[in-house]
Amino acid sequence: MLLASAVVVWEWLNEHGRWRPYSPAVSHHIEAVVRAGPRAGGSVVLGQVDSRLAPYIIDLQSMNQFRQDTGTLRPVRRNYYDPTSAPGKGVVWEWENDNGSWTPYDMEVGITIQHAYEKQHPWIDLTSIGFSYVIDFSTMGQINRQTQRQRRVRRRLDLIYPMVTGTLPKPQSWPASPGPAAAPPAAPCSCPQCVLVMSVKAAVANGNAGPLQPPAARKHMPESGVVKVPPPPGPGAKPLDSTGTIRGPVKMVPSQAIRRQASSTPAGANAVSPASPPGANGKTGRVALATLNRTNLQRLAIAQSRVLIASGVPTVPVKNLSGSSPVNPALAGITGILMSAAGLPVCLTRPPKLALHPPPVSKSEIKSIPGVSNTSRKTTKKQAKKGKTPEEVLKKYLQKVRHPPDEDCTICMERLTAPSGYKGPQPTVKPDLVGKLSRCGHIYHIYCLVAMYNNGNKDGSLQCPTCKTIYGVKTGTQPPGKMEYHLIPHSLPGHPDCKTIRIIYSIPPGIQGPEHPNPGKSFSARGFPRHCYLPDSEKGRKVLKLLLVAWDRRLIFAIGTSSTTGESDTVIWNEVHHKTEFGSNLTGHGYPDANYLDNVLAELAAQGISEGSTAQEAD
């Protein structure tokens, strides 16, 4: 029996054989599905709790994490730790990697570090748990014992991992406890991830565990319904090529018959041989699959893939089977078989590769963009406009209201018929004055609007806090830098008929000014120069011209806390999305994306930048 009480940490196995913890929020989400029992469907969509994990789903019955865009499978486990250890206190230990972001230690390493920290040891040697590092608490540094290289470490507080008490179930068991017998099953989720998982489960539950066979091929199956797999290849066998395909004849199934009819076979059709005894085929098929070794699984799954490729059926990529790990290749093969069993076409290929940059381009191939002057633009710190008080600025946008309505001011939440409830530095206007914004018509205490303006960029513009209508010209706090733009002779995915506009942003680190969050403190600038891409179409050039206006108004970047790394006082994107992948879309920041240009135009409009802005800048 396990501990009477413990914290639950869900973990996944990486390519180096290390169990890596999910965050506390993700673990809470998975645990909620586990505790819901079979009514929850047995699969977890991780993107529902962390948008960065959108491609991933977890199948609780097989205890595997599946990545949809690459087909990669990784084992997961439900592990238990002492509630007085680091995860039970919400303590996370992290080390700084080469790009300046923070990576959490494995859970057992973090627990070891935290234990030494609580004992007030000056340092801890991690050699005893298999790592050649020393953690020095006085400098908060990690020292490599072999190379003497040092990295920063940090200790931060997060959510406490979920707690369980009583008799604990065995790790990797599901469901954790049976649900009420009379409780009706919950409505299944209709998202593509859950549909994929549930269709595979349904096929397995019906006994359809072998590859889907079209009618013409069933007569070639043995009467037992078990697929006969050729023996492992001998010394003269054809090796796998670079795409994971066996070159040479494959004698598993009559490919000619399948090639003619595979695409017309209904999804989920029963693949049980007519000669099989009722109820026997599914069980026998599963036993046969369980007894296959890794080589036979490879041959079976790859042959099925070749048949589907030849028939022209659209395919779902699953990671190739030529990896060095003895676990992942076998799991990938089984996944291919089960997906085929559910009528889902599967192609065993290498996962798609991230393509951030285009092929090399010579200087002679780089051209200026027709209709856009110059090829670069610099910004320096713009001083706030002087000579006008906040009251004088707001007077242009307001109409006084002599008889205010009996409703709340949405800034201070006091009634408009009462004085303003703002308690900060006192503006010079009377707290009971009320004004209406001229274009949108929303009403506020003038006292509150002046206070809001003083807390902003003080650039002569005002944004309605209710509807976000912008009065005047909105500017930002982007630090000084350079924006370059030109044409390159390559096409983006989804835009084969035009060249590509490449934008290069360069911002160096520096010292924060009075308009920034921490004046006088240094700020970092990670990942520069940043390369971004637009199609050289009419709409793509329109977006570029508006991005130039946004750059001049210092609205592309800001200084703040990175949402991906958690680092503070660093240069971050400022609500105008850019495409930073040239030839892929694995991170969601690439092409094809049919709606991107319209979306970025809407984001620019929300910053007060539209077609009329280019003429306004020229004036």
Percent of the chain with pLDDT over 70: 65
Instruction: Identify the pLDDT of residue 451.
Output: 87
Nearest to 207 by CA among 44, 55, 341: 341
Query: Regarding predicted confidence, which is higher, 485 or 411?
Result: 485
Sign of the four-CA dihedral 121, 127, 128, 131 = positive
Alpha-carbon span 275 to 425, nearest angstrom: 87
For residue 414, give every residue at least 6 positions away whose Cβ sits within 8 Å of its Cβ, in sequence order, or none.
408, 420, 421, 445
Is residue 33 within 8 A of residue 180, CB to CB? The reply is no
Highest mean pLDDT among 150-164, 355-369, 475-489, 557-571: 475-489
Res 334 pLDDT > 50: yes
pLDDT band for position 536 (cuts 50, 70, 90): very high
- Predicted model pTM: 0.48
At 213-236, the pLDDT tens digits run 333 333 343 333 333 333 333 434
Alpha-carbon span 132 to 121, nearest angstrom: 18
Res 491 pLDDT > 90: yes
Is residue 450 within 8 A of residue 429, CB to CB? The reply is yes
Highest mean pLDDT among 192-201, 306-315, 359-368: 359-368
Query: Regarding predicted confidence, which is higher, 14 or 11?
Result: 11
Least confident of 27-31, 203-207, 333-337: 203-207
Res 169 pLDDT > 60: no
Q: Which residues are paired to 94 by β-bridges?
A: 104, 154
Res 250 pLDDT > 60: no
For residue 443, give every residue at least 6 positions away whose Cβ sits within 8 Å of its Cβ, in sequence order, or none.
401, 404, 405, 407, 409, 416, 434, 435, 436, 437
Nearest to 318 by CA among 252, 268, 243: 243
Nearest to 531 by CA among 575, 501, 493: 501
Least confident of 8-17, 200-209, 211-220: 211-220
Least confident of 195-209, 436-450, 488-502: 195-209
Instruction: Identify the pLDDT of residue 378.
Output: 87
Instruction: Identify the pLDDT of residue 2.
Output: 46
Residue 25 in 3-state DSSP? helix
Alpha-carbon span 25 to 160, nearest angstrom: 9
Alpha-carbon span 230 to 295, nearest angstrom: 10
The residue-averaged pLDDT of 385-411 equals 85
Res 281 pLDDT > 80: no
Res 384 pLDDT > 80: no
SS3 letters across 334-365:
HHHHHHHHCCCCEEECCCCCCCCCCCCCCHHH
The residue-averaged pLDDT of 550-559 equals 94
Res 127 pLDDT > 60: yes
Q: What is the DSSP letter of 455?
A: T
Find the angle CA(158)-CA(164)-CA(166) to the nearest 5 degrees.
Answer: 155
How many residues are given for the chain? 619
**Neighbouring C-beta atoms of residue 293, cutoff 10 Å:** 10
For residue 436, give every residue at least 6 positions away whose Cβ sits within 8 Å of its Cβ, in sequence order, or none.
398, 399, 400, 401, 442, 443
Q: Which residues are paired to 12 by β-bridges?
A: 20, 76
**How do the residues of the chain divide into helix, strand and coil, expressed in percent and rounded to 5?**
25, 20, 55
Alpha-carbon span 34 to 24, nearest angstrom: 15
Instruction: Identify the pLDDT of residue 336.
Output: 58
**Neighbouring C-beta atoms of residue 429, cutoff 10 Å:** 19
Instruction: Identify the pLDDT of residue 330.
Output: 47
**Neighbouring C-beta atoms of residue 32, cutoff 10 Å:** 13
Sign of the four-CA dihedral 7, 12, 17, 20 = negative
What residue ranges define each of the domains in the chain, with the CATH number in brackets?
Answer: 4-166 (3.30.720.50), 390-458 (3.30.40.10), 481-616 (3.30.390.130)
Least confident of 416-420, 436-440, 496-500, 560-564: 560-564
The residue-averaged pLDDT of 256-282 equals 34
Res 328 pLDDT > 80: no
Instruction: Identify the pLDDT of residue 15.
Output: 75
SS3 letters across 105-167:
CCHHHHHHHHHHHHCCCCEEEHHHHCCCEEEECCCCEEEECCCCCEEEEEEEECCCCCEEECC
Query: Regarding predicted confidence, which is higher, 201 or 259?
Result: 201
Is residue 481 within 8 A of residue 554, CB to CB? The reply is no
Least confident of 233-247, 414-428, 542-556, 569-583: 233-247
Instruction: Identify the pLDDT of residue 14.
Output: 83
Query: Regarding predicted confidence, which is higher, 419 or 282?
Result: 419
Distances (CA, A) of 385 to 425, 448, 460, 516: 21, 21, 7, 17
The residue-averaged pLDDT of 435-446 equals 93
Instruction: Identify the pLDDT of residue 552.
Output: 93
Alpha-carbon span 234 to 564, nearest angstrom: 49
DSSP string of 492-527? BTTBTTS-EEEEEEE---EE--TTSSSTTSEEB-TT
Instruction: Identify the pLDDT of residue 616.
Output: 61
Residue 174 in 3-state DSSP? coil
Residue owning tokens 């027709």? 370
Distances (CA, A) of 187 to 38, 156, 401, 612: 12, 39, 53, 49
Instruction: Identify the pLDDT of residue 77.
Output: 92
Strand bridging mode 346-348 / 376-379: unpaired
**Neighbouring C-beta atoms of residue 447, cutoff 10 Å:** 25
At 60-78, the pLDDT tens digits run 888 888 877 666 788 899 9
- Mean residue pLDDT of the chain comes to 74
Instruction: Identify the pLDDT of residue 307.
Output: 46
Residue 543, burial from CB neighbour count under 10 angstroms (0-12, 13-18, 19+)? buried
Instruction: Identify the pLDDT of residue 149.
Output: 83
Is residue 262 within 8 A of residue 346, CB to CB? The reply is no
